[in-house]
Amino acid sequence: MSLYGLLFTIPRSFGGMTTVALHRATSISRTYDRRVDILTLAPDLDVTSKAAELRNSGMLGGDVRLRNLWKELRESPDEELDHFVGTVRNPIRGDEELPAVPHDGGTERHGDDGSVLQVNRLRDDGTLLVTDRKDVHARGRMGGRRLTLFDRRGRVLTQWHSATSLYQSWLDVVTAGQTAVVISDSNFVGSLMHNYRRDNVTFVHALHSPHLADPTGSVDGRINQAKKSVLTNLDYYDVVTTPTAAQRADMLATNIAVDNIATVSNSYAGGTVTDIEERTPTRGVVVARLSGVKRLDHAVRAIANTDVAGVTLDIYGSGGSQPRLQKTVDDLDVAERVRLHGYDPQARKQFTAASFTLMTSKFEGQGVTLLESMASGCIPIAYDIRYGPSSIITHGVDGFLVPPGDVDALTATITHVVTLDAATLQGMRHAAVRRVMEYRPEVIAGQWAELLSNAVRSKRPVATLTGRATLRNVEILDGVRRLTVAVTSPSPQELAWGCLTWIGRETNIYGRVRAAITADNGGCLLEADIPLQRLSDIGSEELELFADIRSAGTAQRLQISASAATLPRASTDTVELFVPAKGRLGLRRRSRNEQTTTPSRRPGIELQFRRGVRLIKRLYRRLKSR
C-alpha cells in the first residue's frame, strides 16, 4: 500500500493545518520505515527548494518526498504523458496557442477588461506544455474552460474541462492502479476531491477546525462556509477524521456524518521536561495569536480581578487585537501585572518557567498549545470550549476546565491554582507531562496506521447506483413536517441508511435527519421528521431537499421530485415546502402575508416579486456562464 498526502501548496509562512500534515507524514515514515509522498498542485511551487528548506528546519524528516504536478508534467517524457486521461471526448487544438504576454514562466492572454482569459504554461526548453483557456464559449468573453496538454512536438495529447479533472487524472497516474491511500488536509483540496472515487484508492479527508460557523452556538447551527463543499459531500470520502472525539460526536448527533468518520488526534512532536523544578506559583504565560477569537481580554480581566498578591501574566504573540488588548490593560491599570511582549519565536520556552497558562478562546480545532504548555509542566486553565480542552485536560488532575466565557469562574480558578501547596502543584505538573506522552508522534502514527489499514481492508468497489426519489406524502405535525419519500431502488435490505437532507443554494445552511426505511414495490420508502425549529433562521434563502442513501458501500444523493398540487399549506407556518419549475422539492420562508392569511390561488404581490427576482438571477447566471 502506498501512502500520499495531498496539499495544494506549502506557502512561505504556514499554520497549523500544513504543520500537522507534515508532522503526520514524517512520524508515519519514521515509525514504520516507509516512504510517504506529499503531492502538491500549485504551479508556482518549487518543491526542490521547499523540501530542502523544510528538512533544514526540522519540519520534514524520514523518507518523505515532496512532489508537484507541474514539475512532473514538465519533466515527464512524452510517452509518460500519454497516461493522462482527459475528460474531453474529442480533443481539438483550437486557438489556445494564440499570441499572449509573458507571465511567470509562461504567457497570458487578457480580455479587453484585463481579465485573464488564457494561461499558457511552458517547459524549461520553451515548448508549450499546457494551455488553460477560460473563454471557450465565446472568444474574448469569460465562459467555459478547457485545459490542453501538449507533447514536445506541439501535438494535443488530451484535454480537460476543469483543473479538478486534471488533478484527479494526475492522482490516477501517480497511483497507477495500485492500492493507495490519499490524505487531504485543506478545505480547498478536499472540496475538489469528494467525487474522486476509485476502487484502488482509499481517500481520507482530515478536518482541523470546527465544522460549525459559530462553535459557541447550537450544535445543529449553520456550518462553516469554508467547509461547505466538504461537509455537504462527507459521505463520498472513504474516511473523514476529526482531531477530537467531541467533534465527531457532534457531527454524528446531527447526522452531518453517519458512518465514515473517525478521530485521530494531532501529535505533539516537541520535547518534554524530565526534571520539573519548582517555579513561582503566581506566574502565568500565554502564547497565542492576538485575535478576537482568542478573547485574551478575558485573561486580562481575570488577572485584574484576582486578589492574590504577585499574580502576573506574560502574553506573547502579535495580531490585530494587540492595540485593543493594550487598551484593556491600561484601562484596568494592570500594566505591572499583565505584560504584552509581542511576537517572540522562542516564546514557548517560557512555559518551562511559568506555573500556569490560560486558554480563553471562543473555539479551537484541538488546542495543541495546551500540549506544549503541559509538556513543560505548566498547568493549563482553559475554557471548556468546542473543541479540544476537554479531550486533553483531566479536570483537577493535570489542568482545569472553566465554563466558556465565565470570567468570574476563570478568576476563581486562577486564585485556586496559585494558592495550591507546592506538593499538589508538583503532582499536577508531573501528571501534565505524563498526559502529553499519549500524544507522542509514534503513538499517533500507530493510530493512523490502524485506521488506514482498516479503511483499506473494508473498502468496497464503487457501485453504480440508479434511482429516483419522489415525494409520496407530507404530514403536518406539531413543530415538524413528516415527509415520506419513495426511492425506486435499491431495496431496504440493500440500504445501510437513508437521510432527508436540506442544503442552502447560496448560503451555509445544511441539515440532515435519519429516515426510517420500509419496503415499497421493489424500492423503499424513507420517512423522516424535519423539525421546523432547525429552519428558523433561513431568511430569504431557498433550500433544496434531497434523499441521501448508502448502498453496497456507495453513497448517493437523489433530488426529490414533487408536484405542487400534493403539497399541504398551513396558514400559520413560517416555512413552506414548494416546487419550482423543474419539479424538485424545496423549502423556503413564507411571506408575512401568507403566514397570517389563508392563501388564495393567485400569489400575492410580494410572492410574485420574489419569484421575479429569482428568475432574473437565473437568467443572469446563464448569461454569465456563456
User: 444 near 27, Cβ under 8 Å?
Assistant: yes
DSSP three-state, residue 380: strand
Residues in the chain, total:
626
In degrees, rounded to 5, the angle at the alpha carbon of residue 104 between the alpha carbons of residues 101 and 107 is 30
pTM of the model: 0.90
Among candidates 587, 396, 411, which has minimal Cα distance to 509?
A: 587
d(CA 371, CA 246): 17
In the beta sheet, which residues pair with residue 39?
A: 6, 67
Among candidates 45, 538, 30, 24, which has minimal Cα distance to 243?
A: 24
For 241-306, what is the HEC assignment? EECCHHHHHHHHHCCCCCCCEEECCCCCCCCCCCCCCCCCCCEEEEECCCCHHHCHHHHHHHHHHC
Q: For 113-226, where are the alpha helices, taking DSSP H only?
A: 163-175, 187-193
d(CA 244, CA 250): 10
> One-letter amino acid identity for 320?
G
Among candidates 271, 206, 216, 218, which has minimal Cα distance to 244?
A: 206
Among candidates 342, 325, 338, which has minimal Cα distance to 414?
A: 338
pLDDT at 234: 98
pLDDT at 99: 64
pLDDT at 620: 59
d(CA 224, CA 490): 33
Q: Which residues contact 328 (CB under 8 A, 6 or more apart)?
A: 297, 300, 301
255 phi-psi bin (left φ>0, alpha ψ -120 to 50, beta other):
left
d(CA 102, CA 120): 9
* pLDDT < 50 stretches in the chain: 596-607, 625-626
d(CA 621, CA 624): 5
pLDDT at 466: 85
d(CA 59, CA 54): 5
Produce one character per residue of 76-98: b if its CB has 16 or more CB atoms within 10 Å, e if not. beeeebeebebbeeebeeeebee
- C-alpha cell of 302? 481575570
d(CA 274, CA 375): 9
pLDDT at 349: 94
Burial of 599 (0-12, 13-18, 19+ CB in 10 A): middle
Kind of pairing, strands 2-7 and 36-40?
Answer: parallel
Q: Which helix (H) or strand (E) holds 69?
A: helix 69-75
pLDDT at 612: 65
DSSP three-state, residue 608: helix
> One-letter amino acid identity for 435?
R
Among candidates 278, 458, 268, 224, which has minimal Cα distance to 369?
A: 268
DSSP three-state, residue 515: coil
Kind of pairing, strands 116-122 and 128-133?
Answer: antiparallel
